[in-house]
A = this chain, B = another copy of it.
Amino acid sequence: MRLTLTPRDTAIIDLLVQAANSLVDGADRLADVVRAAPDDRPELALAMRDAEHRSDEITHATMRRLNSTFVTPFDREDIYALASALDDCMDHMEAAADMLVLTRPKALPEGVGEVLAVLRRQAEETAAAMPRLATMKGLKDYWVEINRLENDADATYRDMIQDLFRGTDAMELLKVKEVIDALEAAADAFETVSHHVETIAVKES
């Protein structure tokens, strides 16, 4: 059963839209770090860190509003979980940039570019889906597509892991694995976001 949306309610949806938009920016900042020469990465990682701070602020604003308002557009706990899940996407993308700077692998597997493209697409799809929470229309296409993209990222991740473990350089494996584990966690986190959206949509239908 849908509740009528009051102005108070739309404020929370607006914050979720902002959070999702910040993920598109985050995916771009992460791609900048990866594509850069190793010596240029620390400075570009600062821009990634700024994006992560902005995402944190949006999450905090969402939580504050959630804790201080009596009327919410959906179940309070579902919004809480959704806002946390959006923030997790950014945290994992920032961790990937960070580990790249800290570990300095000699080279990255080609699959990294594919997973970055998946993350950019997941972020765009998520940003396009959040405003639809106001009407609950067209959300299924979103979560089906996010799931498909996550499967793509997972297949690429598995290929990269298999190749890494066929190598003989344990130090290099450890460096690359820190980066690709964070990328895979980011792709998973976008899928978790879509699960929370699905939960909300099923309850409202």
Does A158 lie within 8 Å of B202, measured CB to CB? no
Which residues of B are found within 8 Å of A6, using beta-carbon distances?
none
Interface residues of A in 56-108 (CB under 8 A from B): 63-64, 67-68, 77, 98, 102-104
Contacts of A165 in B (CB 8 A): 102-104, 171, 174-175
Which range holds the interface residue count of chain A? 20 to 34
Contact A102 B173 (CB under 8 A): no
Given that A165-B174, A165-B175, A174-B173 are known contacts, is A64 also in contact with B102, CB under 8 Å in the complex? no
Interface check A168, CB cutoff 8 A: yes
CB < 8 Å neighbour of A158 from B98, B168, B170: B98
Mask: chain A, 140-171; 1 = CB below 8 Å from B; 0 = not: 00000000000000000010011001111011
Bound together, the chains give a CA A64 to CA B167 distance in angstroms of: 44
By the criterion CB–CB under 8 Å, are B67 and A203 in contact? Answer: yes
Closest chain B CB from A177 CB (angstroms):
8
**A residues 172-187 with Cβ under 8 Å of B?**
173-175
Binary per-residue interface labels of chain A (30-53) against chain B in the complex, 1 for a CB within 8 Å, 0 otherwise: 000000000000000000000000
- A170 CA to B67 CA, complexed, in Å: 47
A168 to B170, CA, bound (A): 9
Task: Verify B171–A171 contact, CB threshold 8 A.
Answer: no
Partner of A102, one of B103, B104, B158, B175: B158
Q: How many Å from the CB of A100 to the closest CB on chain B? A: 11
B103, A161: Cβ atoms under 8 Å?
A: yes
Query: A202: which of B67, B98, B173 is its contact (CB, 8 Å)?
Result: B67
In the bound complex, CA of A162 to CA of B103 (Å): 6
Which residues of A pack against B, CB within 8 Å? 63-64, 67-68, 77, 98, 102-104, 158, 161-162, 165-168, 170-171, 173-175, 199, 202-203
A-B residue pairs in contact (CB < 8 Å), sample of 5: A103-B161, A167-B171, A168-B171, A170-B170, A170-B174
